[in-house]
Amino acid sequence: MPDVISKLERCTFEGWRIPIVDMEIRSTRRRTIHEYLWIAGGKREDHGRGIYTFQVSTTFQADPRFSPPLFPDTMNALRGHYNSGTVGTLVVPHIGPVKCTIQDWGGHLSGSMLSGCTATLTFEEDSTNRFLPQGVQVNAASFGTALSAFKLQVAEALPVTEPDPNAPLELVPDAESNARDLFDQIGDVADQILAFRDQAELNGELIASKVDFLRRLMGDASDMLAWLDDPMNWETLYALRDLQAAAIDVSERPTDNLVKPKHFVVDRQMSIMQVSTRIFGTTERARDIMGLNDIPDAMRIPAGKRLIYLPDAA
């Protein structure tokens, strides 16, 4: 049989390698059973899937092939995440990235293995605060940055492929098509909000109505798209949540305190990093500028291109 597993991404938690000896994955659908007198059996009411748990048996040994060493460096780092209750990214080779916490830690030290120890770690999927409540004040990244990150994640998770002319016509759209259509609509409305924010004669009521519509679309995504419940799609879910956080920040910020946009004209061909350094003295604002402008090639921005940016608040 072909070796498929070894070609997949390695198991890690927050970047720390976890050699898998054995992994057990479990999830139980949530349901309520309604039982009635004089009627055999009961009525089953389904409430969707429960959280996933990943029980990983591993061995931490002082193996020179691994850097940093599994024992004790990696083991101590993972135990630190367990002690602090870190919500981090667990990469499961055949599933992908899943937001988890280390819920249980068990270790075994034996005199028969002097190079390290064995351990059993139980990871529990984190689904708390899936979408932030509307009244929460959020210290979010700029709206443009969140929108740019969301679009990149959707493009990676749901790539558009050329239709096969010989394929049978699908009368009922599949889950990926439904997700892509809704995400495209979210992106379009968010682009409109961004355009309104860039106008000096800012229309506060118009922005409020657009943000309200955007938040309703995001609510539809969370309620209607079973596609988001798949652990493989957690990165898209979190990008959507970050975009909602930024939208809340826009809607709750007083319009008269908004920083007015400024313009920068590229005087010679530059990269987005060079533009950021020229304006702000650092490359850290490159993504903000990307989110506010239509830049096809971030490495080659032509001379004469007029870019919008938001200056730092005074």
pLDDT in tens, 4-21: 777 777 899 998 999 999
Distance of CA 198 to the CA centre of its chain: 26
Check pLDDT > 80 for residue 237: no
Report helix, strand or coil for 190: helix
pLDDT of residue 200: 39
Give pLDDT tens digits for 38-75.
777 778 788 778 888 999 999 998 877 777 888 889 99
What gap in Å lies between CA 3 and CA 83, rounded to an integer?
36
Quote the pLDDT of residue 22.
92
- The whole-angstrom separation of Cα 146 and Cα 154 is 12
Instruction: Give every strand in the sheet of 53-61, ordered side by side.
Output: 16-17, 12-13, 88-92, 96-108, 116-125, 53-61, 22-26
Kindly report the average pLDDT of the chain as a whole number: 77
Which residues, listed in sequence order, are joined to residue 294 by a DSSP beta bridge?
none
Q: How far is CA 159 from the centre of its chain?
A: 16
Q: How far apart are CA 95 and CA 98, in angstroms?
A: 8
Q: What is the 3-state secondary structure (H, E, C) of 54-87?
A: EEEEEEEECCCCCCCCHHHHHHHHHHHHHHHCCC
Say yes or no to pLDDT of 201 above 60. Answer: no
- Span 82-87, average pLDDT: 91
* pTM, 2 dp: 0.46
Picking from 86-90, 155-159, 201-205, 217-221, which range would have the lowest pLDDT averaged per residue? 201-205
Q: Average pLDDT of 263-290?
A: 88
Residue 218 CA to residue 116 CA, distance in Å, equals 48
Residue 210's pLDDT band (boundaries 50, 70, 90)? Answer: low
Structure confidence at residue 260 (pLDDT) = 62
Q: Cα(303)–Cα(220) distance, rounded to whole angstroms?
A: 42
The answer to whether 116 and 60 have CB atoms below 8 angstroms apart is yes
**pLDDT tens digit sequence for 131-157:** 433 333 333 346 777 778 788 888 887
Residue where the block lists tokens 């997700």? 179
